Amino acid sequence: MENVIKEILEAKEMRSKERLKISEGGDISISLSINIPGAPKSDNQIKLFFAECLSDLKRFLLSHRIVIDVKREVVQSDAAGDFYLVPVHSEDIFAEEIKEITELFEMEHSLGRLLDVDITDGNGNPVSSGKAKNCYFCEQHPAVYCMRKQTHDYSEMRSIIEKDVINFLSERRKNRVCKDLSVFALKALLHEVSLSPKPGLVDRFSNGSHSDMDYSTFLNSSAVLSVYFREIADFGFSFSFAHIKDALPKLRQIGLQMEEDMFSETRGVNTHKGAIFLLGFSLFVSANQIKNHNFSYLSFVNQIKELNGSLVENELGKKLYGSKKTHGEECFEKFGAKGKGIRGEIQSGLPCVFNYAIPVLSSHFDLMETETDAAIQEGLTQTLLILIAYNNDSNILYRKGEKVLDELMVVSQQAFNVFGTNTFDAKYKQLIEYCSENQISPGGSADLLAVAYFIYMVNKKYN
């Protein structure tokens, strides 16, 4: 124990010398350390916590226009724990002002009483506010008082700190994951509608086979839906009920609200109803999988299937929506298995997405460090083609029947098979003209393209 105390004191002495080196040039310095009772002063969790707090501090300083000299910063871990030291660039700010600002940082930070942000002026003197921090554990006495009196048990204190740090890091991870998933969902919608040209679908330059919507309609719809993506991701990450199906009522509530807002924004035009359904489930499952550190395509498929169970039979096989049949119910009644639409697709674990779309996306994007617009256009075009070629799109079945759907799938497959050759442009043009002449809009395949791109982005970052 004596050796440990000696090492800690030596480490603190070295820190003092580093501060004096900076002050010899007349510079103010800022340091960050963590108050950890006993020894060791650091471990893997504390290092992660320190790194998060350091990022927070740098951001806080910059927001208050305190410029640090990052080229001279010191980041180290020694017997006294994790430590950061940096000179301040600003010549028009006093050390006392910096101390006030860093005290505000400690006060606003959720675990600020564990942090020590110390200021040393240009003469090498520590700057004190004269205020005593309350004890982290009892909050009744100054921390110095409890430390000198050894009021609290070391093992108990470390246990409390460990729990608080783990909770802090867990919350940070949740925020990062849910933010990423929300971004991926919006990117998927925007890249799908921006893919141009597309056969029969709205894109940047054409309304396709639609007279009631255009590119702007889709952008507005995507914007209003995006505010819900984080809510679904948060729900998925926090969900811990006994059975995954317990999530369905809440997911339906959010989905119905999204539909209402979509129709309000588009004045009754259905731009994203299918995408709401597919992305809603995918956001929830992705967040839930990542929370448990086991995201993979296989685990995603298994959980999607478990979540949806007998969705087709429960929703299309019954008059769930009153006496008037929905398009989905009519399609299922008339065409059977071929008319299951996206409900059948998601109940089966999204086979079109994983058997066809994901392999194409992987072949284009796996080794690509920077995804340029041209590269994204190329990859998504080929992915859309293979989806049209193999997806029994209920939008087309309902409006045009089996014959037209089968012909469209053949034309699309032909275009896919010659992608990248001199023949492709002619085949793709033929597909676009076919959709234009027959007023076909493969909207179901467009929805699958968006969700496939979303799942691919999630897997690329979190597998």
The whole-number average pLDDT for the span 382-391 is: 96
3-state class of 134 per DSSP? strand
Superfamily of domain 166-462: Triphosphoribosyl-dephospho-CoA protein (1.10.4200.10)
Check residue 395 and give its pLDDT. 80
State the pLDDT confidence band at 147, using cuts at 50, 70 and 90. Answer: confident
3-state class of 142 per DSSP? strand
Q: What are residue 142's DSSP bridge partners?
A: 134
| Pairing assessment for the beta strands 74-78 and 126-127 based on DSSP bridges | unpaired
State the pLDDT confidence band at 90, using cuts at 50, 70 and 90. Answer: confident
Please determine, for residue 160, whether its predicted confidence score (pLDDT) is greater than 80. Answer: yes
Start-end ranges of CATH 1.10.4200.10 in the chain? 166-462
Contact 247, 198 (CB under 8 A): no
Q: What is the per-residue DSSP string for 300-336?
A: HHHHHHHHHTTHHHHHTTTTTT-SSPPHHHHHHHHHG
| CA proximity to 335, closest of 408, 271, 399, 278 | 399
Check residue 324 and give its pLDDT. 66
pLDDT tens string 198-220? 999 999 999 999 999 999 999 99
Residue that is written with structure tokens 């950890």 in the block:
36
* Straight-line distance from the first to the last Cα atom of the chain, in angstroms, rounded to the nearest whole number: 43
Check residue 236 and give its pLDDT. 97
Q: What is the mean pLDDT of the chain?
A: 91
Please determine, for residue 39, whether its predicted confidence score (pLDDT) is greater than 60. Answer: yes
Q: Which CATH number applies to 2-152: 3.10.180, 3.30.70, 1.10.150, 3.40.1130?
A: 3.30.70
Amino acid at 33: S
Start-end ranges of CATH 3.30.70 in the chain? 2-152
Write phi, then psi, for 68 (nearest 5 degrees): -100, 155
Q: Which two tokens stand for residue 376?
A: 């994204």
Contact 88, 28 (CB under 8 A): yes
State the pLDDT confidence band at 279, using cuts at 50, 70 and 90. Answer: very high
Lowest mean pLDDT among 118-122, 280-284, 291-295: 291-295
